[in-house]
Every structure is written in structure tokens, then in C-alpha cells.
Amino acid sequence: MSKKFVASYSGGKDSVLAIYKAIQQGLIPLALITTFNTDRKRSCFHGIPKPVLKSIKEAIGVPVWYIETSSEKYIDNYEKKLQMAKEQGAGVCVFGDIDIEGHLKWCTERCENTGIEPLFPLYGHSRESVVFDFVDSGFKAYFTNIDISRINEDLLGRQLTKETLREITAQGADICGENGEYLTFVTDGPIFKKPVDVSFGERIIENNRARLPLEALRMDA
């Protein structure tokens, strides 16, 4: 099996930590894969625009591949991208899932259908240990989307630290945000050659969620 890998990349803490763990195991990143909503002009899950994704490519030094897709063709287009990765030498696809069996099954099926080995470096570890490992490893991430029915709005835009994690658990929310309590965006850490060039727009509140749009710092990014 080739040591080259592609990774399912969302921009959030779990996907980034999984990439880091794969590199620590001696695997070599070929590309980061992210699904992209062409109507919103942002990535599907964490709302990252292409200029910021370009900055991520420069900051990490690994290409970012887009899966530009509709929900109806999501599975087909995902598998086509994995097939392309295999043709370019990837033997593994890395995922940041922790303990949700449905996610494990879906990702495994995509890999089995394309002849790539799935790797889940975080799976089976406790949620608390995963998020503390992320902080202890030296990554920097910010809360960019929170469920304000479960977490105080003032968390938005703050850095993910052990202090802010204690605030989350004190409010009765999941420490890792696995139930949709929050999303993060990682800007720096051990896999980064330099911090990501990114700024945050004005906060938007709708449907019990508060979010900060991500924008590139440089207009030509």
C-alpha cells in the first residue's frame, strides 16, 4: 500500500488533527479533499471560500482538491475524487471521525468502492482526549459557528483553549462539539508552514446559530 494519502478536510479541529496523526505515522499527504457548494461559493460544512482554501494550500504546503457537487451526486462525485487520488498514487484516505458509527460506515464504503484504505486516527478515543490532544499539540483554532441555544454567543470568534472548553462543558454541551454545538477553523499548528491568511466577517445570527464568515486577508489570495 502506498504511503501517500489524501484527507477529508473540513478546516475544523478533528480533520486537521487526523492529518497530523497520519503524518506522525509516516504517511505522506498528497492532497486535502473538501466538498464545495457552488451556489454558496463556500465549502459545504464549514463555509470556507476558495480564496481562504488557497491560503490553506500555501500555509500547509499541500494541494486542496474540491469536490464541486450537488447533494444528489455527492456519493458519485466523492468516489470519483478518491479514484483520481488512487490514480495519482494515494493508497489511503484519512478521516477525522471519532465515534459516530454512521460516519465510519459511510467513509469506509466510499474507500472500499474505490480500492483505497480508510484510516481513522481518532476513532475510538474519547472526545475529551481528542480535543485536549489537539490543544496540547499546539494547534490554534477559533470558534466560527455555534448553536446559541446550547452555548453562549460570546464564545464566537474566541480561540479554542482548555479554558473555553471548560466553559462549554459547564454549559452542559459536548466538549468536542460532536452534537453540532460548535464548529472551528484551524489557522496554525504543527502541520502548518505558516499561519493561514484569514479574517472574520461580521457575525450572522439565524436559526439559533451564530457564525463568523471566513474571508481571505489578501484580495489576490
Cα–Cα distance measured from residue 123 to residue 96, given in angstroms and rounded to the nearest whole number: 8
**Cβ atoms within 10 Å, residue 165:** 18
pLDDT of residue 219: 41
Give the residue among 79, 74, 78 at the shortest CA–CA distance from 115.
79
Give the residue among 139, 158, 185 at the shortest CA–CA distance from 43.
185
Q: What does the block give as the cell for 36?
A: 464545495
Q: What is the largest CA-CA distance in the chain?
A: 48
Give the residue among 57, 71, 53, 48 at the shortest CA–CA distance from 211.
48
Using one digit for the tens of pLDDT, what is the confidence trace for 135-182? 999 999 999 999 999 999 999 999 999 999 999 999 999 999 988 899
CA atoms within 13 A on the CB side of 14: 25
Instruction: Enumerate residues 6+ apart whose C-beta is below 8 A from 178.
Output: 98, 99, 100, 127
pLDDT > 60? residue 131: yes
DSSP 8-state secondary structure symbol assigned to residue 159: B
The mean pLDDT value of the chain amounts to 90
pLDDT > 70? residue 125: yes
pLDDT of residue 52: 84
DSSP 8-state secondary structure symbol assigned to residue 170: H
pLDDT of residue 220: 43
Using one digit for the tens of pLDDT, what is the confidence trace for 185-218? 999 999 999 999 888 888 989 889 998 888 876 5
R_g of the chain, CA atoms, integer Å: 17
Instruction: Enumerate residues 6+ apart whose C-beta is below 8 A from 73.
Output: none
pLDDT > 70? residue 39: no
Instruction: Confirm if 22 and 119 have CB atoms less than 8 A apart.
Output: yes
